[in-house]
Structure 1
């Protein structure tokens, strides 16, 4: 048994995950009635990620801020600007792609038990209340915006704490990071269960039925990842960005694709930033922050699915409404983690701009759940890998600027 475990761990994580996917598909297609127990692995994996990710964000950010000396300079303004530009641009890409390649939906039921926000004011209200949420409640409900604010405040107030206190926080942060790594090591079994559940419940034909929509969504995400983001990076660093883009996709995006959690992918991103030689005072804050607000993939999903619903109902969308949709999808995406249900639950808000009835919008959410096995994974991969990309871009641009000054 020990030899088997050693041999298994010698295989790369991506290789083990691919093996889990293949086994999950085979079980779901051939003997689903005799392998229902496989679904338990998927549920346990998701529950483990949900359990550890909130407290990970709290201690990572608190540790980073508390150890930041008053004389040290970070590059957070540039990184925040890049996050905003990337998310807004993704919303633009989603709208333009939907105009160039319009798709319609075969509407489905399945989202009647969720309650979307009634308007943009409710979204802002929800975000504001999440900011001042009780810290214990924020941890219990995975309110990452609330967790982030508490972590920033506590970290700032602990900057003058005794070294022993800071050391204790650092030790807890390191221990939780190790726990997340252990959970990610179990990803092959969890993903096997998730794939089994998705296929045995919906069938492969469920994905094929929405193939055109999936192609549009995934194509738009790939366009942002390999054309738009590299272009933004080039403007900042004035050199070929693709070696950096490929590395972030390979070492961050692939892991995020399979775990489907930006928060759980934080240790992977921190380790990659360290290997890239970036400023620790900056990336220790920008990576957890990006996992909360850098949501280009969500902006794409909201805009594409909203316009797909408009095409289905033959709703005509003029240029000014399209521009408003771009902005709303970007703003909503940035706050998606603070709203229960994430990006899919914000689709009815965008639909309301076009006068699409709420019952239709709820069915669009149902479509989103069906294709989420691929859409959500790819969306998370884009979000997480771009956290590292833009942190690195800002760091490279700063070093180039400093070199010119000196």
Structure 2
């Protein structure tokens, strides 16, 4: 006699297992403290497996999606709507944190002795942009450190395959088949996720737990609840705008695995595989999700927008400078958008964003250590927002291009 699995567990069982693994990881981190580093190798195995599959997954997903498009104007529409969504959501995220730091100044009553910053490299913007979008040799594409170059190469490969016509169909079929194989490989890797995520989260809590309660406690007391509120409220609103109440339900039934993966690993790229799976189950057309989500993992960082405003307000408080007036606030919004939507795609983008904060406001180099520590402490929730924001963005793009009934059209 077969045992029937309850519908709730069938739909949410794996998501609940991942949440329980994070809770277990927190417990292990609290108990073992610094010794929790012993669990890190188990987490590294999971992270290494994900990072290994990212390059072929991104290449095959984007190139197969582009190669399968019969109307290349659709690709142009996808990219243009995608960028508009990225900018708008980044602006909203920045505005939310701006309101938060005005109501609850993150550095109020905090005294931190400034440690000397390490050597800061002088970065040339032109060289950084060239290095972000191109590489000097093909093997360099096979690295997660050159994602924008890989994305551009994937798009061009898809376009070339489509342009060849009939002679390109066998290669297009290969790209589609390889993409299916990569997605199945991802599902195999995810079987190890509960162990890997538990181990990695134990390491993070054990290593960085003390700093959360120290001098940066007030800043974290602002960022963490605001990040959770943004995750629950803003993303629910975006899902509602994308497809109504039913879309919100589909979104929350499928978004937990990529959320937990991003939260525990601190990597938007590591969440790409589960994010693509979630978008598939939600019903986002593949030619949209397989373009928006990989590009978003590099160019769309709502959590980083929140963090950038927090860093700026924190430095203003430490140096006893009033964070008010049109110019400082407008500059903060501009830097946050640059950090979360443009600079994030450039190698070393986090460092560049922090250097922008220091240079545009005239803070001394010693302040670099402060913003770097804040970036480290908010990395996990920020990455979760970054990754989930990519999924929601693909839904919004589908809504704009597919109309009100885009989910029904996907069956």
The answer to whether TM tops 0.5 is: yes
Partner residue, 2:95: 92
Partner residue, 2:81: 78
Q: Which residue among 326, 348, 367 is the counterpart of 1:319?
A: 326
Residue 157 (structure 1) aligned with residue 160 (structure 2): yes
Deviation, structure 1 residue 272: 2.9
What is the rounded CA distance, in whole Å, between the counterparts of 1:25 and 1:232 in structure 2? 30
Q: Which residue among 148, 151, 170 is the counterpart of 1:148?
A: 151
* TM-score, with structure 2 as normaliser: 0.80
Q: Which residue among 125, 128, 133 is the counterpart of 1:126?
A: 128
What is the rounded CA distance, in whole Å, between the counterparts of 1:228 and 1:319 in structure 2? 26
Equivalent pair of 2:22/2:264 in contact (CA under 8 Å): no
Equivalent pair of 1:17/1:188 in contact (CA under 8 Å): yes
Equivalent pair of 2:101/2:310 in contact (CA under 8 Å): yes
1:1-38 deviation line (CA, Å, top 9, x unaligned): xxxxxxxx999334443444455445444457987542
Structure 1 residues 47, 337: closer, same or farther in 2, change over 3 A?
A: farther
Structure 1 residues 82, 32: closer, same or farther in 2, change over 3 A?
A: closer
Structure 1 residues 172, 73: closer, same or farther in 2, change over 3 A?
A: same
1:289-308 matched pairs, under 5 angstroms: 289-308=295-314
1:68-127 deviation line (CA, Å, top 9, x unaligned): 113773551323211111112222222232122111156488995674665xxx446413
1:313-352 matched pairs, under 5 angstroms: 313-317=319-323, 318-343=325-350, 346-352=353-359
Structure 1 residues 14, 343: closer, same or farther in 2, change over 3 A?
A: farther
Equivalent pair of 2:26/2:201 in contact (CA under 8 Å): yes
Equivalent pair of 2:200/2:264 in contact (CA under 8 Å): no
Supply the RMSD in Å over aligned alpha carbons. 3.5
Secondary structure of 2:270 counterpart = coil
* TM-score, with structure 1 as normaliser: 0.81
Partner residue, 1:258: 264
Partner residue, 2:290: 284
What is the rounded CA distance, in whole Å, between the counterparts of 2:37 and 2:82 in structure 1? 45
Deviation, structure 1 residue 321: 2.2
Deviation, structure 1 residue 193: 2.8
Equivalent pair of 2:241/2:396 in contact (CA under 8 Å): no
What is the rounded CA distance, in whole Å, between the counterparts of 1:402 and 1:32 in structure 2? 51
Gaps of 5+ in 1: 1-8
What is the rounded CA distance, in whole Å, between the counterparts of 1:364 and 1:274 in structure 2? 37
Partner residue, 1:4: none
Deviation, structure 1 residue 330: 0.8
What is the rounded CA distance, in whole Å, between the counterparts of 2:282 and 2:71 in structure 1? 25
What is the rounded CA distance, in whole Å, between the counterparts of 2:271 and 2:260 in structure 1? 10
Partner residue, 2:373: 366
